[in-house]
Structure 1
Amino acid sequence: MILMSKRFLAAACAAATALALSACSSAPSSEGNASKDGTLTVMASFYPLQYLAEKIGGEHVTVTSLTPAGAEPHDLELSPKTVDALASADAVVYLAGFQAAVDEAIEQQAPTTVIDVSPAVELVEANSSANHPSEDEDADEAQSGESATEEHADHDHEGHDHKGHHHDMSADPHFWLDPVRMASAATLVGDKLAEADPANADTYKANAQALNEELSALGDDLVAKTATCQIKTFVTAHTAFGYLADRTGLTQVGISGLDPDSSPSPARLAEISQIAKDQGVTTIFTEALIDPKVAQTLADDLGISTAVLDPIESQTDSSKDYAAVMKDNINALTTANNCQ
């Protein structure tokens, strides 16, 4: 039985209906898979991939995200209509292994063009370094630490106990938080869209090259602005920022693990508190899609501030795209970590 919020169901059904109507009213042309109106129907599994498809495809694509704006992509479930709609899409852009529902739907429906970005982005195994811990390691560390106060325990579980949503992630999926990896994904998406729609191949490749250069420059800016950070550690709501930390040479400490729904134990909170004190951390970072109560309580106990560091798993502000939010993240990080 599939359980979905009303907001998700409405968004999913709307997307499925639109795609179904498109499939009925237009047939593929002889020039690749372009629709009758000259655009490719592209479905992206979540926002960063939607951003790539839109920037690279431009006027030649109509892009729909399988994960609605403002929704958490980790636990995505798809309605039967949305799964059926995948079969009529000209292309699907996704990250294999990140969203099980998407993996299963693609296998079931076999869309015309399937673009898996994972080969281009060099995912890091979850447990290979401090910045990419596995969920099991997080749990072990939490159990080995000293117990925190009962006040922490109360805030730990109130409104944030999602033990039924365990993820088995062998690799850290959050590659898009390293703009350089996003640049590599852009090149792959451009090449694959060019194969799917040869009539507009030159445009896709040119757009992908321009986006690659823009994202590479954003990565250079990230490195330059964090090179002088006096504080080398940052505390996040969940360990989504491992690739960003790798790019900058900083170390992230996550309250929760790769799965944002995992609940930190009192022992884990006590451990983070000690790290924050030892490293001179000035800020606990929260996220728009995660209840900030635990992070706020931890910051209050330590007498330090909170600020938002956006994992860009979903677009929470329609006026800001991926690049704009990454720039906000860079500014937030350099402020919190005293980067001169």
Structure 2
Amino acid sequence: MRTTENRSRLSRRRALLAGSGVLAAALAGCTGAGGQQANRTTASSFEDDEDAPVVVASFFSFYDFARNVARDTPIDVRNLVPTGLHGHGWEPNAQITREIIEADAFIHVGENFQPWADRAITTIKADGVETELINARAGIELVDLAASLDPEEEGVGENRGRDPHFWLDPQRAKQSVRTITDGLVDIAPEHEETLRENAETYQREVLDRIDADYRSIFDAADRDVVQLAAHNAFQYIGVAYGIQMRPLVTNLAASDDIKPSDITDAKETIDEYGIRYIGAAVFETRRPAEQLIRETAVEAYFPVTPYAGVREDWVESGWGYEEIAYNINMPTFEVVLGNKPPEEAGPDGWAEKWRNFE
């Protein structure tokens, strides 16, 4: 149950909602779909607790970290990004700000990554709403956007910026789990022991295991270059495991136009390293990957994802960060590095399902 302090905080928040007009101004100018959550979780024994603390997350990875930490507590964790949408290319409507304001805590990725989340935080601060703000990026050392590229390919300007996709490195993800845990303890101190035990278990049994298994994949590879028909979201895997990640688009825009020079560079990499298979992003256009199949020796593309969104079938199967790592990214890296033929990677039927996926 909520403490008296939590109940009081909620009452003040509802009063602000009723009297400040915050929702009308919160996301002025925003368009697009907004209220449906991709998923939510509350421990089963607490499902009827209407006073359970509510935590909303702006990004799937941190929603998943939080729901694992909150297991066996009454904390209700919700993902704000609808199923099937990319986590940082989405513009919600004002209903999302209402959900954030009515929540006890808001987990976000840090500033300058999700503009809608930045605007919601500005609203919360301006109106004195006491939603706990949990910055999942706090204490994380970011790398350069071009950190795992050859120095001659780093470019200038935007490619010299900092890469926010830190959660792809399981060790950096552990710091994020610790930050989220501290935030959940703040709103549910009576469950601190369970929260911290869950966090330690998740870090040890999931993130450390993923780290070790990734390392085994990359250490076994004869080639240290991966070609991706995707935007620049995988540098942390390159940095962590000594691999050159060659994205087709070397900036952060997942929807950015692909230039002829991008295709030319990819063709040169494919030819130089004898690449037969490439990775293609699940939530991005497959047209450039299809073009590379037509115009190079590449035989097929397979899926990669920076955990920026979830498909309906992943939600139905209860997949989180762990399951996506083992069922999507790891099998693809085994294939694109030449460690295994597609038929031997992933669970049964993986190659048939994901080879040149729609």
If the TM-score is normalised by the length of the shorter chain, which range does it land in?
A: 0.7 to 0.9
Letter in 1 for 2:177: A
- Specify the alignment match of 1:163 in structure 2: none
Q: Specify the alignment match of 2:293 in structure 1.
A: 299
1:87 aligned counterpart, secondary structure: helix
User: For the Cα contact (< 8 Å) 2:83–2:310, is it kept in 1?
Assistant: yes
| Residue identity matched to 1:40 | P
Pair 195,2 (structure 1): closer, same or farther in 2 beyond 3 Å: closer
Partner SS state of residue 120, structure 1:
coil
Residue in structure 2 matched with residue 45 of structure 1 by the alignment: 58
Give the match's secondary structure for 1:252: strand
Alpha-carbon contact 1:84-1:109 (below 8 Å) kept: no
| Residue 222 of structure 2 is aligned to residue 230 of structure 1 | yes
Residue number among 157, 164, 174 corresponding to 1:173 in the alignment: 164
Looking at structure 1, the residues matched to 301 and 100 of structure 2 have their Cα atoms a distance apart, in angstroms, of 41
TM-score, with structure 2 as normaliser: 0.74
> What's the CA shift for 1:218?
1.0
What per-residue deviation string (whole Å, max 9, x for no partner) do you get for residues 26-46 of structure 1?
Answer: xxxxxxxxx963522001001
Report SS of the residue matched to 2:325. helix
Point out which structure has higher relative CO (alpha carbons under 8 A, 6+ apart): 1
Aligned equivalent of 1:142: none
Amino acid at match of 2:307: I
1:215 maps to which residue?
207
For the 8 Å contact 1:41–1:62, the answer to whether it is kept is yes
Indicate yes or no: 2:70 matched with 1:70: no
Letter in 2 for 1:199: E
Counterpart for residue 122 of structure 1: 141
Q: Are residues 1:249 and 2:235 paired? A: no
Which residue in the other structure is 1:335 paired with?
335
TM-score for the superposition, normalised by structure 1 = 0.78
Asked if 1 retains the 8 angstrom alpha-carbon contact of 2:307 and 2:321, the reply is yes
Secondary structure of the structure 2 residue equivalent to 1:306: strand
| Residue 89 (str. 1) matches residue 103 (str. 2) | yes
Q: Using a 3 Å threshold, how does the CA distance of structure 1 residues 258 and 135 change in structure 2: closer, same or farther?
A: farther
Per-residue deviation, 1:301? 1.2
Counterpart of 1:21 in structure 2 is none
What RMSD, in angstroms, separates the aligned Cα atoms of the two structures?
A: 2.5
Extract unaligned runs of 5+ from structure 2: 1-28, 41-47, 341-358
1:196 maps to: 187
| Partner Cα separation in structure 2 for residue 10 and residue 209 of structure 1 | 32
What SS does the aligned partner of 1:76 have?
Answer: coil
1:263 deviation in Å?
1.4
- 1:64–1:235 Cα change, 3 Å: same
Could you tell me how far apart the structure 2 residues matched to 1:60 and 1:124 are? Answer: 36
- Offset of residue 2 of structure 1: 2.5
State the SS of the aligned residue for 1:9: coil
Match of 1:270 in 2: 264
3-state SS, counterpart of residue 70 of structure 2: helix
Could you say which residue in structure 2 is the equivalent of 1:288? 282
> Letter of the aligned partner of 1:3 in structure 2?
T
Q: Percent identity?
A: 21
- The offset of 1:275, in angstroms, is 1.3
Q: Which amino acid aligns with 1:124?
A: V
Residue 284 of structure 1 aligns to a residue whose secondary structure is strand
Instruction: Assess, with a 3 A threshold, how the Cα gap between structure 1 residues 322 and 106 changes in structure 2: closer, same or farther.
Output: same
Q: Contact 1:194 / 1:204 at 8 angstroms: preserved in 2?
A: yes
Total equivalences in the alignment: 288
Ranges in structure 1 where 5+ consecutive residues have no aligned partner: 19-34, 139-168
TM-aligned CA deviation for residue 134 of structure 1: 7.8
* Residue pair 1:125, 1:172 contacting (<8 A) in 2 also: yes
